Chain A
Amino acid sequence: MDEILRAPTVYFNLGPIEINETIIGLWVISAILIVAGIVFSRGFKWLPEGRQNAVEMLVEGIDSMVVFIMGESRRYFTPFIGTLMLLILLANTAGLWSFGLLRPPTADANMTLGLGILVFITINAYAIKANGLKGYIKGFFQPFVLFLPMNLFGELAKPISLGFRLFGNIFGGLVMGGLIYQAVPFLIPIPLHIYFDLFSGVLQTAVFSILTMVFISMAMD
């Protein structure tokens, strides 16, 4: 049980910052995304073929989801939401595609709460931009003045719930995978590992992204 619940191992120290498995995993995923972005977008033709088809399908899928949830006028959110989705997707399933070498970065509460803070800043910044500072502050007093503490608490609850939902799902999957490998190291772990990493990881990506989009569009109107 001890080694299942262990914290991510620290590899070295950059000054006061400890570089642990989470940060290294994040670097690896960022490198993969950047390299894939550069490689897949070379030589775009007007009439798509082959590899470009796949990339266009991906972007169109994310675009249609953004338009469906947030409306046609908010189409410019596609790059942000798309990057967020790809990052979280790769981070959740990292235990699978790295063949067990990488600890999923989202199994670290620091990472998921950091993503929550990112979404929190995005929501409030776009709310101020869309409604103006006065409208933004007035929004906290809707529907009537006594709602102020509840609105404030609701605003805080969004990033905390997003962060902990993602962390709990992925870290819980990690712990349960470890326990099952300890108990029955032979045939049964395979479908369970696939379930926890693949199904749960993809589902939590979708939940995080859809909730982000809903929160942003709710705050902007």
Chain B
Amino acid sequence: MEWNAFAVAAFGLLGAGIGMIAGFGPGVGQGYAAGKGAEAVGRQPEAQPKIMLTMILGQAIAETTGIYSLIIAFMLIGLARAVIG
């Protein structure tokens, strides 16, 4: 195994792992949104379906950046596989 290919693959996989730290952001953001949603339901229980719908929609959009990091991680794993078969 050539040292250069090994290094590229190793750092690629390392980058994939480190990149997934970005999963922290949507976790915090969506949890906060869920808390606000729960608060709103507590304040007005008959609006619960609408509140849940709004909350789910907002969370799906806030999840986007986490998904971006997942895609980059997949690409890096593919790169590591391509360099070292």
Name A's B-contacting residues (CB within 8 A).
Answer: 2, 5, 161, 164-165, 167-169, 171-172, 175, 203-204, 206-207, 210-211
Contact = CB atoms under 8 A, between A and B. Distances in A.
B60 A204 contact: yes
B61 A211 contact: yes
B67 A5 contact: no
Contacts of A165: 61, 63-64, 67
A172 B60 contact: no
Would you call the interface of chain B mostly helix, strand, loop, or mixed?
Answer: helix
Nearest to A200: B60
A123 B50 CA distance: 28
Contacts, number: 38
A174 to B, nearest CB: 11
Interface of B: 56-57, 60-61, 63-64, 67-68, 70-71, 74, 77-78, 81
Contact of A5 (B63, B64, B78): B78
A42 B57 CA distance: 36
A175 B16 CA distance: 15
A168 B23 CA distance: 13
Nearest to A208: B60
A207 B67 contact: no
B68 A172 contact: no
A206 B61 CA distance: 11
